[in-house]
Structure 1
Amino acid sequence: MNRRLTLLTAITLTAAAALTLSACGSDDSSEDTNNDKMAGADAGSETSTSPSPSATASAGRPKITFPSDAKNVFEYEKTGDETKDAALADSTLSVNSVDEAIFEGSTGTKALGFYNTGKALSAYITYVQKYVDDGETWVGETRYFNYKVNLSGDSKAYVTYCSDESKSYIKNRKTGKVDRSPATANAYVLYNASVTKNADGVWQTTDIVSNRGNKACQP
């Protein structure tokens, strides 16, 4: 069973954001009524990965730690635009912060509120709490790819990307049992995120919508 079976209520982006994000190429004209979890960008030549979850915190940024049996992999090319690349990097840390909260079994982790705010933070808290209430976590590897980023001024951006959850699985915290049922089309998810740079220069995720099983993300 892919680890994103449990869904959240969708957060709707603004109409302007939806128009900007339409470049992602989805053949689904309607947004999913449920929001999942929550990581290449525009033209560039250097393949990049986000900072490791266990990377040393810097400039007041909280350290994010993953267990040894779980991993997020972010695949995108740097755009060469400093602002876009910063927005992309922090969007991956938003993803990591949500998963760290799941692993910790707590909605009060420092990173969750550091990289997310507003409607996104509220939805992520609900999402993480569902894992906690169900006594579940996840193991394996999730891949994030097909990144695109569009700026709206100097402090707002829209980021779209796909995830492949076919190699990540739900794990029962109490028994340690892992559900390794074969993956379906629902293991592939399209995300549209709105990110805004705060006064400290951190690009926080403010809105997030997802479409599970979107054909644009399937192999």
Structure 2
Amino acid sequence: MNRRRPTLPAALTLTAAAALTLSACGSDDSSAAEDSGKIEGADTSSGTPAVPSPSSTDTIGRPKITFPSDAKNVFEYEKTGNAAKDAALADSTLSVNAVDEAIFEGSADTKALGFYNAESALSDSITYALGYINKKHTWVGETRYFDYKVNLSGDREAYITYCSDESKSFIKDKKTGEVKDTPTTVDSYVLYNAKLAKNAEGVWQTTDIASNRGSKKCQP
């Protein structure tokens, strides 16, 4: 697959209990396109933060994530009004951005990668990023994330499903600068199931994630 985000490793599978929880979260549909709750993953100017700056009341010390000027993630969802759900949604987008930042930086040792990812999601995200880094690849363009659904399990566990549209993002060879302008197919659309856990500092870390490339649920 020439698109910039191949299917995640097979090891990234949710437990049966988690899958059942995810299947029951349809009533929590918080997806929307082009609304005031949309979070853009990267600014269009070089060296600018890839996510909104933390509020003045945020004492966690979140690392800044930056994207190059030719790459951008766009996250589309509406806030639910539930503080825990909204915090989990926001941190799930930072998990995605942290993995991409590692690819852009050419290092799996970035601060954000381990800040927003843990357990199997962290180890597999490192392996995933190294797949780009070792090949001297990066990506350019825009990837859109949409159709978010979130469900809580107690006070410190959340399950989120969402889709991605990679039709406008492409692999770039760092050595030659060549961009692989691949055509849009059903495989340009991916369904993700993610499990998050709230750590002692209050960060909702992604701990497990599974993907289904070409999912009919995400195709236009």
Normalising by the residue count of structure 2, what TM-score does the alignment of the two structures yield? 0.87
Partner residue of 2:39 out of 50, 71, 77: 50
Q: Which runs of 4+ in 1 moved over 6 A?
A: none
- Structure 1 residue 8: deviation in Å? 2.3
Note the aligned Cα RMSD (angstroms). 1.9
Count of equivalent residues: 203
Residue aligned with 1:218, SS:
coil
Letter in 1 for 2:77: Y
Which stretch shows the higher mean deviation, 9-18 or 126-135? Answer: 9-18
Letter in 2 for 1:67: P
- Per the alignment, residue 89 of structure 1 pairs with 90
Residue aligned with 2:133, SS:
helix
8 A contact 2:40–2:75 mirrored in 1: no
- Counterpart-to-counterpart distance in 2, 1:65 and 1:198: 24
- Structure 1 residue 11: deviation in Å? 1.4
- Structure 1 residue 52: deviation in Å? 4.8
Letter in 1 for 2:22: L
8 A contact 1:139–1:168 mirrored in 2: yes
- Counterpart-to-counterpart distance in 2, 1:66 and 1:95: 12
8 A contact 2:12–2:208 mirrored in 1: yes
The percentage of aligned residue pairs carrying the same residue is: 68
- Structure 1 residue 137: deviation in Å? 0.3
Superposition pairs for residues 117-132 of structure 1, below 5 Å?
117-132=118-133
Gaps (5+ residues) in structure 2?
Answer: 43-48
- Counterpart-to-counterpart distance in 2, 1:62 and 1:50: 17
Letter in 2 for 1:140: G
Change (3 A) 1:7 1:152: closer
* Alpha-carbon displacement from aligned partner over 1:94-133 (angstroms, at most 9, x marks no partner): 0000000000010000000000000000000000000011
8 A contact 1:4–1:187 mirrored in 2: no
Gaps (5+ residues) in structure 1?
Answer: 26-39
- Counterpart-to-counterpart distance in 2, 1:147 and 1:171: 28
- Per the alignment, residue 169 of structure 1 pairs with 170
* Alpha-carbon displacement from aligned partner over 1:35-61 (angstroms, at most 9, x marks no partner): xxxxx6279xx6412365404455300
Higher normalized contact order (CA 8 Å, seq sep 6+, divided by chain length): 1
Letter in 2 for 1:156: E
Superposition pairs for residues 1-219 of structure 1, below 5 Å?
1-5=2-6, 7-23=8-24, 41=30, 47-50=36-39, 52-53=41-42, 54=49, 55-56=52-53, 59=59, 60-219=61-220
